[in-house]
Amino acid sequence: MNIQQISSTPFTDQKPGTSGLRKKVDVFKQAHYLENFVQCIFNSLGDSDKDILIIGGDGRFYNRQAIQVILKMAVASGFRKILVGQSGLVSTPAMSAQIRKYKATGGIILSASHNPGGPDGDFGIKFNTQNGGPAPEKLTDQIYQNTLTIDQYQIIEAADIDLDQLGTTPMGNAEVEVIDTVADYADFMQHLFDFERIKTLFRTGAFQMSFDAMHAITGPYAKELFERRLGAMVGTVMNAEPLEDFGGGHPDPNMVHAHELVEQMFGPKAPDFGAASDGDGDRNMILGRHCYVTPSDSLAVMAANLHHIPGYRNGLSGVARSMPTSQAVDRVAEVMGVHCYETPTGWKFFGNLLDSKKINLCGEESFGSGSDHIREKDGLWAVLFWLDLIAVKQQSVAEIMQDHWRRFGRHYYSRHDYEEVDKTRAEELMSTLKARQSELAGQAINGYKITACDDFSYTDPVDNSCSENQGLRFLFEDGSRIVYRLSGTGTVGATLRVYLERYEPNSEQHQLDTQQTLALLIKIAEQLARIKEFTGREQPSVIT
């Protein structure tokens, strides 16, 4: 085995964000850029940990080329066996499941999630650890420190592997196996949900469903699950073929980017149920006929009904949500007598809670939900949950939501995103607003009294690690909230996210328009942060 030692110099922009390292494709294609970061991942692991590695991605542009490089570097770094998804494809949830199944050292996921793809689009890489979850901050900090001092990387000379053919091939002192993650993932889901019960929905043809894979990773998984195993009619899965540029679309399952599905679901001949997932398969959007379910409400419904699902017969043991996610699930947890944890944004913060069995359900407002079955959010898992629940209750999505609000009250909730704003000005907005928090506490603005405001920090109850500066919170006397965050998932400029929430216990007020109901809070949020002044934007880029 001929291992080459390639001299290199550090790049200064390789600090991982909440979901790994994301940059434009052209940045990753620079000489040594990908190799440096991969070597820094391997250098952060002990030699005794380099046993089994899993590699795969969402199929975006540069996925195949990057896999061939990483394979040869993994062999040079001493891994005994490397598993690769067929055609280089592995959804993020499937990756987490495979890591846990094979007891792998970890997995490298090549994805920029919901960001656009193609030659001019985004690319990303992140490392998931042995529990199947994203690398914790301690490890990503170590990787980043390594990127600042790296002076060489290792790679073997070898022919490329045929990624499309299942089977095992020797490479240097290791073996590379191309595996079918689609069938494996579908088998796993069949153990969690009552597939026979769900089949009854589709058996007569009366129940109609539409799933938008957005030309991203979930197409093959969704066709296997919904059309082949559950009996939904052929064509239920839209945009099923994974494409390197996602068909020119934006693989983000929300009301703006999944417009084809939304038009169907709010049209004159709408299906009974609709759903979509994102670039790497970890996010979900749930729709009923003329009905949109916010991710926060979806999490709350799951918490209230977990006991109906075969894989969770013992019900809810505990739940966690990211801080910006609405407090709808908090009320469910209170009624059910379990603890609800509030964490920073980023799925890695749920890992310790899941591993220590403090929770068995978690979710984020950014279209992500999951459970203790893996250590990532899981888009298709959420869709199957809703299908199983519909089969149990024999109700429409709208009826399920109405019943839930009657029992727990409704949290009117919305997120306003200002995308690709000038990063310096966005940071000035946040620092200026943070500096004013002490003087704003106790003030009344347009009839809303601010009772408390802070910059959210989190101390992990398992390992006592502390994460600070996680978002500016403004809490009002009536229980309403406004939260401001700068997102770490974009590659151009900055994204300012503004979260708005108002609780309504009166069931006679549960059918109001969300944006109209929140109109006064929206106005206050814009005034407090002086959004137009700092960003130059009259209105958000995306409202969800």
- Taking CA atoms, 183 is separated from 130, 229, 270, 387, in Å, by 22, 11, 30, 20
What distance lies between CA 219 and its chain's CA centroid? 17
- In sequence order, the 6+-apart residues with CB closer than 8 A to the CB of 178 are 83, 84, 85, 86, 161, 162, 163, 164, 165, 166, 167, 168, 169
What distance lies between CA 149 and its chain's CA centroid? 31
Which entry of 19, 44, 111, 113 is annotated as an active-site residue? 113
Q: Distance (Å, rounded) from C-alpha 340 to C-alpha 68?
A: 43
Size of the chain, expressed as the number of residues it contains: 544
Residue type, 496: L
Instruction: For the chain, report the end-to-end CA distance as a whole number of angstroms.
Output: 53
Sheet hosting strand 319-322, strand order edge to edge: 340-343, 319-322, 361-364, 368-371
Q: How many helices (H) and strands (E) does the chain have?
A: 18, 27
- Taking CA atoms, 15 is separated from 147, 242, 254, 413, 440, in Å, by 8, 29, 28, 32, 34
Contact 147, 10 (CB under 8 A): yes
Q: Distance (Å, rounded) from C-alpha 282 to C-alpha 367?
A: 9
- In sequence order, the 6+-apart residues with CB closer than 8 A to the CB of 186 are 221, 224, 225, 229
Q: Is 111 a catalytic residue?
A: no
**The CA-based dihedral angle spanning residues 248, 94, 89, 256, taken in that order and rounded to the nearest 10 degrees:** 0
Active site residues: 113
